[in-house]
Structure 1
Amino acid sequence: MGLKASLSKVYAAVNAKKITRWRKDAVSIQNKVLSELIHSARKTAFGKDHHFDEIKSYDDFKSRVPVQDYEGLRKYIDRVIAGESNVLWPGKPVYLAKTSGTTSGVKYIPLTKASLPEQITAARDALLNYIHETGNNDFVNGKIIFIQGSPLLEKKKGIDFGRLSGIVAHHVPEYLQKNRLPSFETNCIEDWETKIDAIVDETIDQDLRLISGIPPWIQMYFDRLSTKADGKKIKDIFKNFSLFVYGGVNYEPYRAKLEESIGKRVDSIETYPASEGFIAFQDVQGEKGMLLLPDSGIFYEFIPADEYFNENPTRLSLGQVKLGVNYVLILNTNAGLWGYSLGDTVKFVSLNPYRIIVSGRIKHFISAFGEHVIGEEVEHALLSVAKKEGLEIVEFTVAPQVTPEDGELPYHEWFVEFNKAPYDLDAFRLEVDKALQKKNPYYFDLIEGKVLQPLKMRSMKKGAFIDYMRSNGKLGGQNKLPRLANDRKIADELEKY
């Protein structure tokens, strides 16, 4: 064992004590975080406007700080972008993370001297926690790769801005830099397909042991590696590959295809990073859910998803949540985001410690007929039936068909790309429909009441979703295909494929 590997186990043991404290004292840590956030921002423009000096309790905080999305905070963020200091957080941010929004177009999320280190530390803690739990630190001695956005940055009023993954690339710890791929020059390539081809050329003969990225883009990388290597499995290209770190989307829809490409099952760590903050990571192999990070400069709030669009929805702190309830996640951060609705829905699968799964997006649902079908439900319905029948799903999305032709009843239309397709697509789609009815009682009632007919399913050609993303300029990076839409904007375009 080399020096680096030996030291990693020492650091992992030290880190384990911090993780243990998080597991035991999460609620008290969160209370302290809220107090520190309010105190730090009391003299900012936002703090003055919302009377932070008068806040003595969480109830006081809720009465003064509204829940809002990016548009709600935009008047303050625009002042930050214009170069003003002490607007949302003391001073100016060190970066603006550029990200896309469903309603706001391009969004600029501040990263401050307080918040940026939390992003780096959380990613490091996830790896150290894995080493401590499993004893596996082999990846430390080999090459690691992060498939990410370009690290090239621009400036606005003296503030650097770019994609979060590109920003973070400038802050990879020194001890990982020598092991890290791809090269800076390759990472700077903007065109995604050109970049993937360059990464393949640069890595195919390397000793890659840890691979990190968003699953659909990792799959694209694996496909091109295999083609370049005359059809070899990834395990035969990278013989010591042992750890896959991912985030951004649910892994399960991609697991079967990725593992088929790899040729074996490897350990994986699920993470929950966002431009707005690093929220959680998987702390135990084989356990469902990710450990919520209570001491990362974020005070979390939770709104029951079925109340979110009410005029006065219930707002809960960590100590008030319950198991199995879909909550909309609200953030208050040391980057100056206040009452910020991230748009994600989460569900607690454990309260001791606090572990979550990401169950969907509050704006990604189908409720054209009052069914309010969410991402977690469609994923479960499709994947449970596919697993039972030994089928492999590459990608999928669902949309309502409200006005079908020929006087048919309305229905949900599923666009599915199979790696291994069903022998009888009609029988398969009926089984998926039954599974969805079991998960969602409103959908069941609409089918039973002949308001809807069972879902229809289109089998897409190979590469259809990549072609669609390419045509919209959203191939690669942090771009993700919505699982659900309450309209047919995506569906109508997918009909071309």
Structure 2
Amino acid sequence: MEVVNTFLTWIFKNRIGQIENFMRNPIEVQEQILEELISTAKRTSFGKTYKFNDIDNYRDFASRIPVHSYEELRPYFERIMKGEQNVLWPSEILWFSKSSGTTSSRSKYIPVSQEALEDCHFKGGKDMLSLYVNNYPDSRVFSGKSLSIGGSLGKNPIDPASEIQVGDISAVIMENLPLWVQFARTPSLEVALMSEWESKIEKMAREVMNENVVSISGVPTWTIVLLQRIMDLKKAKNILEVWPNLEVFFHGAVAFGPYKNLFQELIPSSKMRYMETYNASEGFFGIQDQKDSEELLLMLDYGIFYEFIPMEEWEKEFPKVIPLSEVEVGKNYAILITTNAGLWRYKIGDTVRFTETSPYRFKISGRTKHFINAFGEEVIVENAEKAIEAAAEATGSSITNFTAAPLYFGDSKSKGAHEWIIEFKTMPDSQEKFIMVLDETLREINSDYDAKRYKDLALSAPKVHFVKEGIFSQWLKNKGKLGGQNKVPRLSNTREYLEEVLSILR
């Protein structure tokens, strides 16, 4: 394996020249991407509607094509899922990535073209390895197996008999990887793409625990569940007793900070490395390119054209939209993307803050709405409000206010959860029933939350503080924000607000 490791390390190091090119010439690269996207899609249904033939520059593009939400592009997506092609993008669309839903649908379905797979997602994986081996020339990352924890695939929900398949983006990528990559990864594809998570975790654990695993790729929550099960099976105190050559965890999807201490407990080595990526259903956007920094490098040659909406403009009917060349360091922006899968000026819902512009590095600053996504569940305010309403109706209670935040893993044996403070005018006739209906309703309306809650694998049942009226008013008063337009934040991905309210209860 030493020869293989040396050869592949040399191969991946050589990609760094292309990365350095877009770091030196970001605007020129982005202009070329836009030109190629418009030219390629000009004969699609969408391209004809918006007269792509007459678009000569960014100004024409921005003035002619409207900004789109998921709901606004959804009719086009459904046409493709019903069998129509050449709608948004000229190449055949055979894959849709399934992600957390909007207020009107349980899940979103995002088209994935062959170009998006090869020139974006696969390229992102190769660049991740290129940056890693350039930062760590002594790496032996190709000397063993790469453990990848993915999702599952299913049939097209609109036309189950069609060739189109849907699934988590990790599963779509895994299914389409070239043979040499399949050989280098574990577990087997059959196990990796299982949909029943309890059986999947068990089979994964038993299949991979005797492999020489040197790297892991996945979401922190599921990775923790898997590592804990492997340690139980092997009766190991930590995972290094199972995989002594493990050297890196490539992670993404949720913030890693809250999990850092637990990973250090599971993998007690100062030599263990952690590298963040920003990969979503819609595309591969960023990679942590520096050893001693948590900033992400914006990847600019993946067939994605970027625009941004300053967050102070977000609520306006016609918000100002700017290209990459106009962003400023320190400001929060909502991201718009135009991609080689036919997403045109699409609002992905994430916000970023640039830390520098030469090259373009950034940090993910949140979502355009209040949310909880500490475990990959992507619970939005609308989800929470529907669940609260259902629980109140089922228990004869009335609610005046609430807030919720993550309750993180306390140690290597515990699970995460959501912690709620709910203020009642009329208390529920059964607190146990209220929690049950709250939890069940969230599972019904949010597929990602449901997956994390399945048999308590990654998330435990909610923890709820039932409080009487006046607590939130006192909290707002303490902050000098009582009255007017000041509101209690319904959801937060940090515990700041929740801890402040809990301090009043103590």
Give TM-score, length-normalised by structure 1. Answer: 0.76
1:294 correspondence with 2:296: no
Partner of 2:8 in structure 1?
8
Q: CA deviation at 1:173?
A: 3.2
Residue 175 of structure 1: which of 146, 155, 180 is its match? Answer: 180
Say which is worse superposed, 167-176 or 31-40, in terms of deviation: 167-176
1:419 correspondence with 2:410: yes
Q: Number of aligned pairs?
A: 418
CA distance in structure 2 between the aligned counterparts of 1:277 and 1:358, rounded to whole angstroms: 15
CA distance in structure 1 between the aligned counterparts of 2:489 and 2:404, rounded to whole angstroms: 11
1:344 correspondence with 2:321: no
In structure 2, the CA distance between the partners of 1:267 and 1:106, relative to structure 1 (3 Å rule), is same
Partner of 2:473 in structure 1?
none
CA distance in structure 1 between the aligned counterparts of 2:162 and 2:283, rounded to whole angstroms: 23
Quick check: 2:403–2:489 contact (8 Å CA) kept in 1? no
Q: Which amino acid aligns with 1:296?
A: Y
Partner of 2:452 in structure 1?
475
CA distance in structure 2 between the aligned counterparts of 1:87 and 1:363, rounded to whole angstroms: 30
Q: CA deviation at 1:12?
A: 2.5
Q: CA deviation at 1:182?
A: 0.7
Q: Which amino acid aligns with 2:282?
A: E
CA distance in structure 2 between the aligned counterparts of 1:488 and 1:293, rounded to whole angstroms: 30
What does 1:79-478 align with in structure 2 at a 5 Å threshold?
79-103=79-103, 104-117=105-118, 118-151=120-153, 157-265=162-270, 266-364=272-370, 412=403, 414=405, 416-417=407-408, 419=410, 473-475=450-452
Q: Which amino acid aligns with 1:47?
A: G
CA distance in structure 2 between the aligned counterparts of 1:187 and 1:245, rounded to whole angstroms: 17
Q: CA deviation at 1:394?
A: 13
Quick check: 1:330–1:342 contact (8 Å CA) kept in 2? yes
Q: CA deviation at 1:410?
A: 6.6
Q: Which amino acid aligns with 2:167?
A: G
- Per-residue CA distance 1:204-260 (angstroms, 9 max, x = gap): 222111011001111111221222232411112110000101111111111111111
Q: Which amino acid aligns with 2:138?
A: N
CA distance in structure 2 between the aligned counterparts of 1:216 and 1:468, rounded to whole angstroms: 22
In structure 2, the CA distance between the partners of 1:69 and 1:24, relative to structure 1 (3 Å rule), is same
In structure 2, the CA distance between the partners of 1:415 and 1:5, relative to structure 1 (3 Å rule), is closer
Quick check: 1:398–1:414 contact (8 Å CA) kept in 2? no
In structure 2, the CA distance between the partners of 1:396 and 1:174, relative to structure 1 (3 Å rule), is closer
In structure 2, the CA distance between the partners of 1:189 and 1:470, relative to structure 1 (3 Å rule), is farther
In structure 2, the CA distance between the partners of 1:44 and 1:467, relative to structure 1 (3 Å rule), is closer
Quick check: 1:288–1:349 contact (8 Å CA) kept in 2? no
SS at match of 1:360: strand
In structure 2, the CA distance between the partners of 1:290 and 1:74, relative to structure 1 (3 Å rule), is same
CA distance in structure 2 between the aligned counterparts of 1:211 and 1:468, rounded to whole angstroms: 33
CA distance in structure 2 between the aligned counterparts of 1:486 and 1:223, rounded to whole angstroms: 34
CA distance in structure 1 between the aligned counterparts of 2:293 and 2:151, rounded to whole angstroms: 30
In structure 2, the CA distance between the partners of 1:191 and 1:469, relative to structure 1 (3 Å rule), is farther
CA distance in structure 1 between the aligned counterparts of 2:351 and 2:459, rounded to whole angstroms: 16
CA distance in structure 1 between the aligned counterparts of 2:97 and 2:379, rounded to whole angstroms: 28
In structure 2, the CA distance between the partners of 1:160 and 1:62, relative to structure 1 (3 Å rule), is same
CA distance in structure 2 between the aligned counterparts of 1:100 and 1:409, rounded to whole angstroms: 28
Quick check: 1:97–1:164 contact (8 Å CA) kept in 2? yes
Say which is worse superposed, 328-337 or 110-119, in terms of deviation: 110-119
Q: CA deviation at 1:476?
A: 8.0
Q: Which amino acid aligns with 1:44?
A: T
Partner of 1:62 in structure 2?
62
CA distance in structure 2 between the aligned counterparts of 1:396 and 1:52, rounded to whole angstroms: 35
In structure 2, the CA distance between the partners of 1:286 and 1:466, relative to structure 1 (3 Å rule), is farther
- Per-residue CA distance 1:170-206 (angstroms, 9 max, x = gap): 2223333223111123223221122111111112222
Quick check: 1:257–1:394 contact (8 Å CA) kept in 2? no
Q: CA deviation at 1:313?
A: 0.9
CA distance in structure 2 between the aligned counterparts of 1:131 and 1:283, rounded to whole angstroms: 11
Once the two structures are aligned, what percentage of the paired residues are identical? 33
SS at match of 2:127: helix
CA distance in structure 1 between the aligned counterparts of 2:110 and 2:220, rounded to whole angstroms: 24
In structure 2, the CA distance between the partners of 1:356 and 1:487, relative to structure 1 (3 Å rule), is same
- Per-residue CA distance 1:124-155 (angstroms, 9 max, x = gap): 11112211221133120111110111256655
CA distance in structure 2 between the aligned counterparts of 1:418 and 1:107, rounded to whole angstroms: 28
SS at match of 1:473: helix
Quick check: 1:397–1:414 contact (8 Å CA) kept in 2? no
Q: Which amino acid aligns with 2:46?
A: F
In structure 2, the CA distance between the partners of 1:396 and 1:153, relative to structure 1 (3 Å rule), is closer
Q: CA deviation at 1:3?
A: 2.6
Q: CA deviation at 1:160?
A: 3.0
Quick check: 1:192–1:475 contact (8 Å CA) kept in 2? no
- Per-residue CA distance 1:353-378 (angstroms, 9 max, x = gap): 1112111111225xxxxxxxxx89xx
- Per-residue CA distance 1:393-433 (angstroms, 9 max, x = gap): 9999999999xxxxx99775545245169xxxxxxx9xxxx
Q: CA deviation at 1:7?
A: 1.6
CA distance in structure 2 between the aligned counterparts of 1:148 and 1:476, rounded to whole angstroms: 17
Structure 1: 5+ residue stretches without partners: 366-374, 380-392, 403-407, 422-428, 430-464, 492-497
Quick check: 2:12–2:126 contact (8 Å CA) kept in 1? no
